[in-house]
Structure 1
Amino acid sequence: MKVSGFMALLLLAGCASVREQAYQPHKSAEKKAFARVDRTIGPDAVRANYVALAETELAWAGIIKDVQYNETERTFQVAFEIEYHDFDWVDHGGGQPFRLSAEGGGIFTAGWYASKPTRISYLKLLAAPGDMIIVYGKPFSMANGVIQLAATAIRPVKQGGFSFLEPIAESAEPPVVDEGVPEASGENHREQAIKTLESLEAL
């Protein structure tokens, strides 16, 4: 999948928008992360050059597939399983201001903390399977091509706040996985999300 076709389609669709403006971060933590990250690097680039990009703070968008929680004395640790989708970083206005490519770009996971007195009931309402989410963070590990981000900030978007656009068909070369990164075997995505929780203590 190439971003260029998706971006071209968004330019055409933008003509029907109520208003358009550059994407605006929502809260303080996201604003700080937004100013730091490189939004041009996607999962395929990290898979191909994991070692070189391991210290680069990134921002990826996608659809939440699963969420796992672990409670500690002072925090809730949250592990997201997310299907990556290209995002144009534009607020298109109207009832569904954010637009994602319909074609997914594979699964990634993200580990995130929420400090107490935040309640787990609130967290479950904040971000649930089927919602869009923007994750800011650095690559922490990669197993079977699934990248785990150590999240510095997140922005969930509830269903109804975004839409999908079909990308223009283009040929794409298969991603190259960096052979210098050890690969795990025998884990499905849900198990990797649980493993994300276990690795949060090392962040």
Structure 2
Amino acid sequence: MNLKVGLVACSLLLAAGCDTFTGNTNFAERSETVSLTGTVEAIFPEDRLFKVRNGGTAVVFRAGPQVKNFAELEVGDTVTMDYYESVAVGMADPADPGTAIGEVLVGTAAEGDKPGAAMVGSGSTVVEFLSYDELTQTAEIKLADGTVERVGVAPEMRAFAAARTAGDRIAVAVDRALAVAVVPSE
């Protein structure tokens, strides 16, 4: 599926744009890629549900109204999902007002094709660092609108969090990509 190929290329570009610095206390990044494949085992068109099995695990999915070509889905089709996420943090430029910005590109399957979709998104903002709890590996941050949130800190980012002091301004960048494709049964 062309959408999937385009998404993988975008994911690689996003990943290539971020350097990972192990143990660096001025910058940290974590990234994750997950790929899943399964076979459509059952379809419930009246509820727009379908069951996908991968070995001993079966999951039921609901296809929302935005999913085109649901009627083209057949028992025996192979469903693949690829997901990529990268989160990078660093010290914010003092002149940065912290305005959140983001972009999203979305594509769907052509009319008459098997269902499929791809999404690539990127966003950034500046948050105020409040505290880091090494015992629970969580940080407390304040968003630009004043909302205070507690977030889990991944192992790759703990040295960065531990080096922060209350009031530090942190630049946060998040890149995500998702592709879902259906391949006809043979």
Give the TM-score category using the shorter length. under 0.3
TM-score (norm 1): 0.25
| Higher alpha-carbon Rg | 2
Q: Higher strand share goes to which structure?
A: 2
Q: Higher helix share goes to which structure?
A: 1
TM-score (norm 2): 0.26
